[in-house]
Structure 1
């Protein structure tokens, strides 16, 4: 590879094309013409000396060499972004940017931390994305963000993960449901009810189905709804029962009953996740440290583990 033929612009163009899986979409995002982007890709492929995209694929899929180049390009660009942030911090105090992507249930809690963090670090730009678990996993695979918050994180040597907050799952019903107010109810008595479920791949659904399987239980009727808000409203309207994050339940205005069922609430947690093969930018490190030090000031104590401060420091160090 002729390294001297590479430039930051070539790497920026390539990263955008991989993320968009489209030359035209990347051109729009970069405010360039499509022929310009195509020419940049050609120059980059010539410099590398290997095909960067699989010509036989229906959409733009990087080859093995292309995937490795993508990782290297992300690392290089992030390193220099971090350096630029360091220079700004040296001149103006804390600065830089942090990109964080969270699953939909975490959208009810994380802003409570980001608001005070932004007030404490006014020169740090925070970019927050909210998506379902499948989309967050896709963003993690593409290294589109610095930090991720999962209730069922990915695993493997490329994953840096730490338990940060409690996320118990409650079984809810309409206020007038026959089981409301009963204590120690066996789940088998509810198996014939209609259960409202999130989409396949949802961490809440995965945990509930694993819990059922582990006890040899099953559901007779279920209905898929791809929104926590719609699930709350549907349960309140008498459409069925559901298992839902206590945080999601807390933020709703609907009048619902939390059933006292053996085995509930299901114990679940939110995990902070980052790619282990990439250096954690300065601003991201400061956000993790801030969460560890100030979570108790922003979130109810019942959701916070006593060791969150040490967990945060270990995460920063890569443990």
Structure 2
């Protein structure tokens, strides 16, 4: 047998996600590349590791045993790497962060230099909706979470990073006058909502309820990117975070519609369970953020001030 560490990592991720597509997304590889590596890996065994029924992949009992062995091997390799970095006096370990979906436009900028300074740190970042982010923090599955709406039922500590602004947004086929009354415009515009559990959805619903307006609900989509594509196609309008539409605004593909009461302003905050015993990696990351966050905001998000 001549399987590689890369094949072990890919197979383990397929087992964990139960999907070649999801595995490719989490590994930042193309689906064909993952499929080829899976085929090459399976070809080295006389017993099937997976079965495909319909369009769904299933892991055989033998495949699960191989996945368990693969995980042990990968952990040992990581341990060797950590010992090497530690011997050189470098910071080592895992940094686990759960990020709300729109936060994917924010968090990488607060991570990039830190990760570059500490090659021995392994980043595990999960991007999902607010409910799942809060749940992973509550279950102590992650070190930190990035949210724009603070959970009310958890005892947490926080570090504020960046202001979050939400505007009514649509494509540029129709022009709007300034100072439109909230109740008037929402009677005419079909609105596109994020799914339940989304922080953006919660903020949007709070605004609608607070202003006592009736809306023509058009559709519900599960990602910020899906909402953006629907807006570009002219399917409707939505209240969206400014952070995710920089390029489309600069290219005049989307416009901010001037409405009384907008923008809604919240804060992107890194949160963690109060009293959590942080690892050296987490302590170092917090120290880095406290020292560098203002510089990062000025350097990477100065375009924010245009709106």
> How far apart, CA to CA, are the structure 2 residues paired with 1:133 and 1:26?
31
Which string of whole-angstrom CA distances, capped at 9 and with x for unpartnered residues, describes residues 193-237 of structure 1?
110010012111111111121121121333101121121121121
Q: 1:29 to 1:163 in 2, by over 3 A?
A: farther
> How far apart, CA to CA, are the structure 2 residues paired with 1:156 and 1:250?
33
Aligned residues: 231
Matched, 1:184 2:179: yes
Q: 1:218 to 1:102 in 2, by over 3 A?
A: same
How many Å apart are 1:266 and its aligned residue?
Answer: 0.6
User: If the length of structure 2 is used for normalisation, what is the TM-score?
Assistant: 0.66
How many Å apart are 1:238 and its aligned residue?
Answer: 1.2
* Pairing partner for 1:96 from 93, 96, 99: 93
Unaligned runs of 5+ residues in structure 2 are 1-15, 18-60, 71-81
Q: Is the partner of 1:231 in helix, strand or coil?
A: helix
Q: 1:273 to 1:30 in 2, by over 3 A?
A: farther
Matched, 1:170 2:167: yes
> How far apart, CA to CA, are the structure 2 residues paired with 1:214 and 1:236?
28
- Which deviates the most, 100-109 or 217-226? 217-226
> How far apart, CA to CA, are the structure 2 residues paired with 1:28 and 1:271?
40
Matched, 1:214 2:200: no
User: Who is 2:301 aligned against?
Assistant: 300
> How far apart, CA to CA, are the structure 1 residues paired with 2:104 and 2:217?
29
> How far apart, CA to CA, are the structure 1 residues paired with 2:64 and 2:131?
22
Unaligned runs of 5+ residues in structure 1 are 1-18, 33-84, 305-319
Matched, 1:154 2:155: no
Native 8 Å contact 1:236 1:256 kept in 2? yes
> How far apart, CA to CA, are the structure 2 residues paired with 1:169 and 1:199?
17
Q: 1:163 to 1:115 in 2, by over 3 A?
A: closer
* Pairing partner for 1:117 from 114, 118, 122: 114
User: Who is 2:222 aligned against?
Assistant: 226
User: If the length of structure 1 is used for normalisation, what is the TM-score?
Assistant: 0.64
> How far apart, CA to CA, are the structure 2 residues paired with 1:141 and 1:161?
14
> How far apart, CA to CA, are the structure 2 residues paired with 1:29 and 1:105?
32
Q: 1:27 to 1:156 in 2, by over 3 A?
A: farther
> How far apart, CA to CA, are the structure 2 residues paired with 1:162 and 1:294?
12
> How far apart, CA to CA, are the structure 2 residues paired with 1:163 and 1:155?
16
Q: How does 1:218-257 map to 2 (within 5 A)?
A: 218-252=214-248, 255-257=253-255
Q: Is the partner of 1:224 in helix, strand or coil?
A: strand
